[in-house]
Amino acid sequence: MTDSLVYTFPALFSESVKNFGDRGFIAMVGEKPRSYNETRSQVMALIALFERMEIQPGDRVAILGTNMPNWVVSFLATTFMGAVVVPLLPDFLPKELENILEHSGAKAIVASDNLWQKLNDIATDNLLYRIGMEDFSVEGPLGKKFTFDPLATPVKEYQVKEDDLAGIIYTSGTMGTPKGVMLTHRNISFTAVKSRLIQPIDETDRFLSILPLSHTYENTIGFILPMLSGASIYFLGKTPTPALLLPALLEVKPTLMLSVPLIMEKIFRNKILPAFQEKWAIRMLYRIPVMRKTLHRIAGKKLMETFGGEIKFFGIGGAKLDKTVEQFLIEARFPYAIGYGLTETAPLLAGANPQKTKHQSTGPAMDGVMLKINNPDPVTGEGEIWAKGPNVMVGYFKEPVLTKTVFSEDGWFKTGDLGVFDKDNFLYIKGRLKNMILGANGENIYPEEIESVINNFRFVVESLVVQKKGKLVAMVHFNQEEIALRYLHMKEDVSAYVENMIEELIIELQDYVNSRVNKFSRVQVVILQPVPFSKTPTQKIKRFLYT
């Protein structure tokens, strides 16, 4: 794959069909993969159906579905004919879906059976067709009937250009209303091609896909990237609960996977760390650094076996990985890798493979991408990360004013993230600019770093640090069910015991945190968050609701 290729999906896929036509491409876990040739035939047949429905280049086609081979077919068919795909997160609420379908002007939607009911009460003037993802059956205007013919081929030939709009991706928005990010064929294709320089991939590789394909992270790195390389992709299709994920890992034996930090953090806190705390002798050994590393190495071997034994790249992105969990992965010699990017950059800006990771760094800028720290602090070197490159979005759909605010006059994209480079040009993310708290003496306080410490405290599920009346306040959600298990032997109502224990934990937590952060990041108040925080569809806390 060279830069002489045309950076469009049909051009890149044609190259893959030529090189890997009979090799397996996409499948559900437990099924035989469809080959690249078979996938191409299905894509052509769906384009022929779209033609009969009078879908034209530039028309928007939404996709709402759990991961499956026909999700991929729907995406490729839409973009191959010059139409614009609007991938929708499965966790969007019906009202959010209605707003997006209206705002995007989608003419058709391809939806999977398990999410079809979300569309029942949606009514928009522009949405004419609803297509079943499983069999491509069509619901259209009265008097019009369309049947999918798997042997059909398109009537027209389509000339898709690199700068043609490929997709409008609506971000989940931790700060408020979702925005429609416009990405071109070049934006996404460039990221996928350049990602191969970070981690080599070939036709023998197997991806296990557990994140939504509607998210740019999984879409570009977990779908387009393996497609370029002739690799196979297996879809779990459902939420990756241990009961589903563990047997899938043993069956597929993936060589590459993508994840969000939450998955590995849960494994560490719920499975690995408790094993080192159960017995007094092990607990004492674990406190000795050299013995902790040995125990982590043993745990790492078991973790590799759990993941099928052949994983060589476990990519983590979407949020910052907890520093304690990352230290475990380093000492366990587990092949993890960190990446940094945004939906607006399709998505990758920086990354490193497992052989080049540094603790808490996202790695250097991706080849062909320029990153700089704008107006860095003269002492710390920290400032807002700005980016330039072929993967940076065109802008926000129907939002020219908002688009203008995120670009500098000379074309740099303002990420809204704060970071710093080390001497090797490895990037370290400090937090979101909008989340940063200014201390009493002008110090920069990054709530994400304090939350990372809090979340390592026993029984803590999640936390949020905010500033209220000049004080740093930690809102903490404890796992009350886990605490209650300690009192199972008691016959009376244990709620009072749980309440007392939480009160004690709050006092203990404040000392724990303040002994581990710098003096101006010390928490002055800890309050109980009795229910889980409200989250976006990508499971990020909606901070704007609490600040």
* The pLDDT value given to residue 174: 43
C-beta of residue 21 within 8 angstroms of C-beta of residue 36? yes
C-beta of residue 463 within 8 angstroms of C-beta of residue 455? yes
Q: Which of 91-105, 146-160, 255-269, 439-453 has the lowest mean pLDDT?
A: 439-453
Residue 338: pLDDT above 60?
yes
Residue 409: pLDDT above 50?
yes
* The pLDDT value given to residue 1: 44
The better pLDDT of the pair 185, 3 is held by 185
CA–CA dist 230, 203 (Å, integer): 4
Report pLDDT digits (tens) over 197-226. Answer: 999 999 999 999 999 999 999 999 999 999
> What number is the average pLDDT over the span 342-369?
97
Task: Go through the domains of the chain in sequence order and give each one's CATH number.
Answer: 9-19+32-199 (3.40.50.12780), 260-432 (3.40.50.12780), 440-545 (3.30.300.30)
Alpha helices in 81-142 (DSSP H): 94-104
Report pLDDT digits (tens) over 449-483. Answer: 999 899 989 899 999 999 998 899 999 999 988 88
Report pLDDT digits (tens) over 79-128. Answer: 999 999 999 999 888 988 999 999 999 999 999 999 999 999 888 889 99
Report pLDDT digits (tens) over 372-396. Answer: 999 999 999 999 999 999 999 999 9
Report pLDDT digits (tens) over 157-205. Answer: 999 999 999 999 998 644 456 689 999 999 999 999 999 999 999 999 9
* The pLDDT value given to residue 491: 62
Residue 451's nearest CA partner among 537, 348, 521, 357 is 521
User: By percentage, how much of the chain surpasses pLDDT 70?
Assistant: 97
* The pLDDT value given to residue 531: 94
Hey, is 210 helix, strand or coil?
coil
> What number is the average pLDDT over the span 436-449?
85
Three-state secondary structure readout of 487-508: HCCCCCCCHHHHHHHHHHHHHH
Alpha helices in 377-488 (DSSP H): 400-405, 447-454, 480-484
* The pLDDT value given to residue 172: 62
